[in-house]
Amino acid sequence: MSYEQLIVDRDGAVATVRLNNAARLNALSPTMTAELLDALTALGGDGEIRGIILTGEGRGFSAGADLSALQEPYLKGERPRLSFFLKDGYNKLIPLLAETPKPVVAAVNGVVAGAGNSLALACDFRIASDQASFTTAFVKIGLIPDAGSCYLLPRTVGMARALELALLSDRIDAATALSLGLVNKVVPADDLMQEAHALAARLAELPTTAIALTKRTFNEAARLSLAETMDREAEVQDEAAATDDHIEGVIAFLEKRPPAFTGR
Ligand code: T3D
């Protein structure tokens, strides 16, 4: 996989996707968004890959939408229809990331702003460098949170904190993000990629289909009642029980040995 604004590396069952426009703190250009769509679609369907890391080059994770292309039209007095851009870009990317059938670890290496938060929040785990910082940023340019932030942020930190982060847009450090539940863990910057890789490798050794089905059912449950969710659990459990990994897990337990899951 060769891209202009992404670097994709593979190490065994773990793929690392790096946003690669460090000079702009990995702001999300249309090119980067399209390349992420392509890479995540390919990795999601790649039977060899069982864990994904998303991170950024340089001192930024992602500064959100790349605003640089807006200067010229805005100075000319043009008024944009951002919905076209959103529907064609983030509205495809963020659900794809959140629903990808592989576990995804965000290794938050630095600055996060705007839609960069949505990218991190759509991942299954967030490990932050102690150098990371977070700002919602949208209100500072007169916009509402988009790229799924209106959905993901309140679900992650609760409504009161989400409103505080969205409306005041203070820049918070990694320790504060941890205390709010915005990230799972904070580690020294030098240890970030090692920690993220260890977690992704651990996830890659687990039953991949059960992980995919768990993610899918959690997402579905957000729209269902308790009784409906339990019906879905029963149906989806048939899919999980049909995997080799289910049989291996039960037999390994009964034989008192560690399981050897294959992802099938
Ligand atoms: O508008 C639409 O297209 C709709 C979609 C909206 C979704 C969104 O994400 S809206 C929010 C967009 N993001 C922002 O508003 C954040 C803008 N950036 C910042 O506020 C600050 O850069 C940060 C707080 C993120 C980091 O500050 P700092 O002091 O650490 O770095 P810096 O010096 O401001 O930035 C470094 C460089 O990155 C700088 O370029 P330069 O001067 O060295 O040539 C800066 O212009 C560039 N940069 C940072 N963010 C963006 C960016 N370039 C383009 N787009 C950016 N979002």
Q: What's the rounded Cα separation, in Å, for the pair 220 and 229?
A: 8
Q: What's the rounded Cα separation, in Å, for the pair 36 and 100?
A: 12
- Ligand 1 pocket, residue 111 CB under 6 Å: yes
- Ligand 1 pocket, residue 27 CB under 6 Å: yes
Distance of CA 63 from the midpoint of ligand 1 (Å): 5
Distance of CA 26 from the midpoint of ligand 1 (Å): 9
Give the count of beta carbons closer than 10 Å to the beta carbon of residue 2. 7
Distance of CA 146 from the midpoint of ligand 1 (Å): 16
Q: What's the rounded Cα separation, in Å, for the pair 196 and 253?
A: 28
Domain 208-254 has CATH 1.10.12: yes
CA-based nearest residue to 5, from 22, 46, 15:
22
Which residue lies with its CA nearest to atom 38 of ligand 1?
Answer: 24
Give me the pLDDT at residue 1, please: 76
* CA distance readout (Å), 29 to 33, 64, 112, 186: 6, 9, 15, 28
Distance of CA 75 from the midpoint of ligand 1 (Å): 18
Q: What's the rounded Cα separation, in Å, for the pair 16 and 51?
A: 9
Pocket test for ligand 1, best of 19, 20, 24, 25 (most atoms within 8 A of CB): 25
Give me the pLDDT at residue 194, please: 98
pLDDT in tens, 90-131: 999 999 999 999 999 999 999 999 999 999 999 999 999 999
* Shortest-distance atom of ligand 1 to CA 65: 9
Residues in the chain with pLDDT values less than 70: none
pLDDT in tens, 224-240: 999 999 999 999 999 99
- Ligand 1 pocket, residue 14 CB under 6 Å: no
Pocket test for ligand 1, best of 19, 21, 24 (most atoms within 8 A of CB): 24
Which residue lies with its CA nearest to atom 31 of ligand 1?
Answer: 25
Domain boundaries, the chain: 6-204, 208-254
Give me the CATH topology for the region 6-204. Answer: 2-enoyl-CoA Hydratase; Chain A, domain 1 (3.90.226)
- Ligand 1 pocket, residue 113 CB under 6 Å: yes
- Ligand 1 pocket, residue 175 CB under 6 Å: no
